Amino acid sequence: MTLPSQPALGASVSIRDVSKSYVAGRPVLRGLSLEIAAGECVALLGASGSGKSTLMRLLPGFMAADAGSGPIAIGGAPIQSDGKVVSEVRVRRAEIGCIFQQFNLVGQLDVLTNVLIGLLARVPTWRSAFRRFSDQEVEVARDALAAVGLADFADRRASTLSGGQQQRVAIARCLVQQARVILADEPIASLDPESARNVMEILARIHREHGVTVVVSLHQVAYARRYCQRVVALRNGDVVHDGRANDLSAATLRDLYGTAVDELLAAPEDFAPIP
Ligand SMILES: Nc1ncnc2c1ncn2[C@@H]1O[C@H](COP(=O)(O)OP(=O)(O)O)[C@@H](O)[C@H]1O
Ligand SMILES: [Mg+2]
């Protein structure tokens, strides 16, 4: 068993009329709808507080939307609807790889084990507790580490890796999980520009080579434009732009974001300036 050489088919993501309030009567998302086709790479752009993480938590059913909200489905299968997460959500999540800003690895465990954890998404909980991994599975995990340029790091404790390396381990885990959708919530927000580019390039490559659907939230427009074909821009929980990344000019952004635009335009010097 090696990494699937045939492109795994990405799964679609569908959100219909979804609202979310943390405080009653003060919705953070208001009737948001979004259709993402299988195999798309979509940047979710928005200043801090615009609702990116809220949406990223709703998609895998980590939390429920408000009652009255429409369905959220991944690959056509429901995750939640009307404020209730479906009971078989764990099965659904096997197809969803999640990457977070704060490197969600188990720091005390070695890198290889952190990647192998991706396999546990596909076995029942009662079996995963005392799971031994087969030689074949270990080989798959090593291949995944090689694919993200970390072949030599398998035995290192995860906590000793740099932030960029930890994010690459998280991507390797999505690979062994054979995720059909990767949800990455500000995966580069805590990284230096070089590591950030490296992580985005690997995400983009996985998307290209495996056909995985990628939804990545970013708060810098330069990365969104460079790595994603489609940009969905949120402002105060509303979709204010949904289209080709190249159509987002600095003027459009100023229009959409007003004074909050500086945060979105900040970019490393070696990125092409935004016209
Ligand atoms: N757990 C929470 N409890 C109360 N308010 C929250 C919580 N999480 C987020 N919010 C609020 O919801 C809004 C959107 O936040 P968030 O989804 O984290 O945006 P982003 O990820 O784009 O920065 C913000 O106003 C934030 O303060
Ligand atoms: Mg956030």
- State pLDDT tens for residues 188-220: 999 999 999 999 999 999 999 999 999 999 988
pLDDT for the residue 252? 80
pLDDT classification of 124: cutoffs 50, 70, 90: low
Q: Is the pLDDT of residue 99 over 90?
A: yes
State the first-to-last Cα distance of the chain, in angstroms, to the nearest integer: 48
Q: Relative to the CA of 48, which ligand 1 atom is closest?
A: 23
CATH tag for 9-95+180-266 (out of 3.40.50.300, 3.40.50.720, 2.60.120.890, 3.20.20.20): 3.40.50.300
Residues with C-beta atoms within 5 A of ion ligand 2: 52-53
Q: Relative to the CA of 237, which ligand 1 atom is closest?
A: 14
Instruction: Give me ligand 1 centre to Cα 14, in Å.
Output: 21
pLDDT in tens, 72-86: 999 999 999 999 999
CA distance 126 to 64: 25
Instruction: Give me ligand 2 centre to Cα 56, in Å.
Output: 8
Mean of pLDDT values over 37-54: 94
Instruction: Give me ligand 1 centre to Cα 56, in Å.
Output: 11
Highest mean pLDDT among 103-107, 180-184, 246-250: 180-184
Residue with more model confidence, 275 or 40: 40
CA distance 72 to 85: 9
Residue with more model confidence, 274 or 42: 42
Ligand nearest the Cα atom of residue 47: 1
Ligand nearest the Cα atom of residue 44: 1
pLDDT for the residue 8? 56
pTM of the predicted model, to two decimals?
0.91
What is the percentage of the chain residues whose pLDDT exceeds 70? 91
Q: Is the pLDDT of residue 22 over 50?
A: yes
Residue with more model confidence, 22 or 261: 22
Residue with more model confidence, 128 or 211: 211
Q: Is the pLDDT of residue 1 over 50?
A: no
Q: Is the pLDDT of residue 71 over 70?
A: yes
Regarding the beta carbon of 48 and ligand 1, being less than 6 Å apart is answered: yes
Instruction: Give me ligand 1 centre to Cα 55, in Å.
Output: 10
Intervals of CATH 3.40.50.300 along the chain:
9-95+180-266
CA distance 254 to 260: 8
pLDDT classification of 257: cutoffs 50, 70, 90: confident
pLDDT for the residue 65? 98
Q: Relative to the CA of 219, which ligand 1 atom is closest?
A: 22
SS3 string, the chain, reads CCCCCCCCCCCCEEEEEEEEEEECCEEEEEEEEEEECCCCEEEEECCCCCCHHHHHHHCCCCCCCCCCCCCEEECCEEEEECCEECCCHHHHHCCEEEECCCCCCCCCCEHHHHHHHHHHCCCCHHHHCCCCCCHHHHHHHHHHHHHCCCHHHCCCEHHHCCHHHHHHHHHHHHHHHCCCEEEEECCCCCCCHHHHHHHHHHHHHHHHHHCCEEEEEECCHHHHHHHCCEEEEEECCEEEEEEEHHHCCHHHHHHHHHHHHHHHHCCCCCCCCCC
Q: Which residue's CA is the closest to the ligand 1 atom numbered 10?
A: 22
pLDDT in tens, 129-173: 566 788 999 999 999 999 999 999 999 999 999 999 999 999 999
